[in-house]
Structure 1
């Protein structure tokens, strides 16, 4: 595993993006700007990042957190930053990192086991909770709807369960959550997808996985859009091999295809969704079989596999690792926008480590559109992507890093320089990275790093926040 993509996800860090990625691809995932107080002639899109950034503040991991306290999500709501770990959800002041509140669990001692990637357009987010079952297991079966426009107030809480073959409840220790438009919250159980109405927590519908003689297929990952849910499933054909399929359900809970689409996977391999529109998934070989290359599967509108794109070639090997070191953030290290898939290549071990490269694939043809140098001499991390291109952070020197945007046609434009933080490890040892309103926000589960926000170099700082949590309600 090469260094650049170890940073991007190879057992050390994975990046969850603000515009898609994670579990939700809602076009209305973020609250819009406040209405202007006077007429304006034109709407000017704010820059993704300031031209020069430096460490504005850090917030350390709360006491009591361990490596088992998995990073589960991060919501940016303008003035606040919601940071979710296995132990709870803190609310930080975006200006200076002070802890200004927390989201109260339904019962004392409950842990966080899932979060929506972002709040929806109404400022509502969802958090799943679990209770301990024995010494090592947990049952993730409660979800709360949270209003970020009211300081993290819990609107409602309800239970959810999967279904065993005999009809009894079936729970695991984590879940996936995502919004279907503004009115429905989709919850992925071990073998169902449940849609809850945000207005009153009532159940709109439940979709159940296909049944075999030995039981139900198990859900692996899912993605939501304003009009559908896409879910990948597996069934253990043997000790070392699983069968994988992908299904799509519309906003009314009806299957969009007659039968789920089977996706072939190698022995010990996995299949994970990358995007829902267009629908793509990555077939990933066992990490012990480095000689095998991952593949990107592109589906057509009817659910059939349109093409399979090898992720190894003359360009090297694309990093496709889709899980953080803590096992919860199933965010592929590849990002799809329109008909383009952006990624980084692994740094090859030869005479020293070669620089990583940025690469773009045309999903309509399955061909490589371009390959560009992404690093001068050290490590690169693919942080974000939007309609203008992919944003890559090059950790190129001991004094500063460079944030570059690679456009769909391959044009490279420097967006920002990022001054080296107090803790240089913080540039790479991250689990979530986002570009938010001109700031670079990074979140790591490592106790020595926590949350780091890089703001415009004219801002005051850096400062460190370790203050107590303010009371909620």
Structure 2
């Protein structure tokens, strides 16, 4: 591992509450406030630059842009620290350890096509970096184009589109296990979340079927294996506790959602009307990770339907014991509802903004029923800005809502980066 560098703490002079006064102009009675909006003026390559990471840590929000991670005060948007990487950050996970550490991947050089194969542990509370290392190859065809990261306990998994995956100890960077040394079918991906890891493998046998196994987060050893139906593959992972998978057969145009029990046996198949938004932030070339736009809690899967152009979607709650739909909550108007998380017997979701109407953070009772607004974002000047965040990253924590872009055009002009709402 390479030596650590201290973060640039910033002097707090950055204009955190940029134009916040103007953004609250036209606010109606009962609406909450824009706390601050951060813009970015960056010159980059013609294809733009990635800005995928966003983490809310204590009283700060950390945002990744290009080769930098920057922390802003949650209340006022003032810069707290910036940590620069040698080359652009190319893969992140929204997950952190209990003490706010995460692992970030960055490119081996400044080229857009350079392998995404350098790993660094970062303390998101302080902006200090820990160990750094190159991801060791698990075989000859180990392609580090668009790897995905998963994190649970002291384990981080790195899965890549070349059909290789490995796991490392977060505290030290040591390799724990990988597909190069796995028993049986070779894992294409390790998916980690909430104290669990599963392995998704393609098998080189006459059937060419895939299989899913559990994996011990320290040793990688499996205790059960679920064989996929012929020519089916895992297209999305909704949960690891219980294991809920979206599986499909491209040749036949068939797909279904399967629920596995603790022994790896199929417990139920989820079915319901509607086209579901199941792309789950998986890049076209990327490997699998747990979906960010679905929530599993208390034996229920909350999943959004795909929104048609200018048409509302809905969130559907499925009983994972029976596979049947329990209730549906429509977004209304021409809006979109996106699940954020479950807490206190409710589902927290974001109802997107329209050009003349702010978005909302709502709570929907786990048993179904009318959503209650936790935050009503202002109309007026703020709504068209909020409405123009396409494929954003969203978080709701400590009574504040965070929304940020995942890519910047980087053409030397001011662009919206991160917007925060609160009481």
The TM-score normalised by the length of structure 1 is 0.69
Provide the secondary structure at the position in 1 that maps to 2:77.
coil
* Pairing 1:41-120 to 2, within 5 Å after superposition: 52-65=31-44, 67-105=47-85, 108=86, 110-120=87-97
* Matched-pair contact (CA < 8 Å) for 2:358–2:382: no
* Pairing 1:351-430 to 2, within 5 Å after superposition: 355-375=312-332, 377-387=333-343, 388-395=345-352, 398-414=356-372, 415-420=374-379, 422=382, 424-427=384-387, 428-430=389-391
CA distance 1:297–1:332, shift in 2 (3 Å) = farther
| Aligned partner of 2:188 among 218, 227, 230 | 218
* Matched-pair contact (CA < 8 Å) for 1:344–1:358: yes
* Matched-pair contact (CA < 8 Å) for 1:145–1:157: yes
Q: Give yes or no for the alignment of 1:137 onto 2:108.
A: no
* Matched-pair contact (CA < 8 Å) for 2:346–2:363: yes
The TM-score normalised by the length of structure 2 is 0.77
Provide the secondary structure at the position in 2 that maps to 1:139.
coil
1:298 to partner: Cα distance: 0.8
Q: Which digits, 9 at most, give the CA deviation of each residue in 1:347-375, with x for residues without a partner? A: 568xxx65422210000111111123331
Counterpart CA distance in 2 for 1:293 and 1:71 is: 34
Provide the secondary structure at the position in 1 that maps to 2:386.
helix
Q: Give yes or no for the alignment of 1:230 onto 2:193.
A: no
| Aligned partner of 1:309 among 270, 273, 277 | 270
- Report the equivalent of 1:187: 158
* Matched-pair contact (CA < 8 Å) for 1:74–1:118: no
Provide the secondary structure at the position in 1 that maps to 2:377.
strand
- Report the equivalent of 2:392: 431
Provide the secondary structure at the position in 2 that maps to 1:196.
strand
1:211 to partner: Cα distance: 8.4
In terms of mean alpha carbon deviation, does 425-434 or 138-147 score higher? 425-434
Q: Which digits, 9 at most, give the CA deviation of each residue in 1:202-256, with x for residues without a partner? A: 33444547689xx95533x622332x31133447999xx9854322211331433
CA distance 1:336–1:204, shift in 2 (3 Å) = same
Counterpart CA distance in 2 for 1:317 and 1:412 is: 23
- Report the equivalent of 1:147: 123
* Matched-pair contact (CA < 8 Å) for 2:350–2:361: yes
Which runs of no fewer than 5 residues in structure 1 stay unpaired?
1-50, 457-473
Q: CA RMSD in A?
A: 3.5
1:123 to partner: Cα distance: 2.3
- Report the equivalent of 2:258: 297
- Report the equivalent of 2:416: 449
Q: Give yes or no for the alignment of 1:123 onto 2:100.
A: yes
* Matched-pair contact (CA < 8 Å) for 1:197–1:203: yes
In terms of mean alpha carbon deviation, does 317-326 or 437-446 score higher? 317-326
CA distance 1:178–1:332, shift in 2 (3 Å) = closer
CA distance 1:236–1:95, shift in 2 (3 Å) = farther
CA distance 1:160–1:402, shift in 2 (3 Å) = closer
Provide the secondary structure at the position in 2 that maps to 1:72.
coil
Q: Give yes or no for the alignment of 1:345 onto 2:313.
A: no
CA distance 1:355–1:186, shift in 2 (3 Å) = closer
Counterpart CA distance in 1 for 2:58 and 2:307 is: 36
CA distance 1:236–1:180, shift in 2 (3 Å) = same
1:302 to partner: Cα distance: 1.6
Query: Which of 1 and 2 has higher RCO (CA within 8 Å, sep 6+)?
Result: 1
1:326 to partner: Cα distance: 8.8
* Matched-pair contact (CA < 8 Å) for 2:54–2:63: yes
Provide the secondary structure at the position in 2 that maps to 1:426.
helix
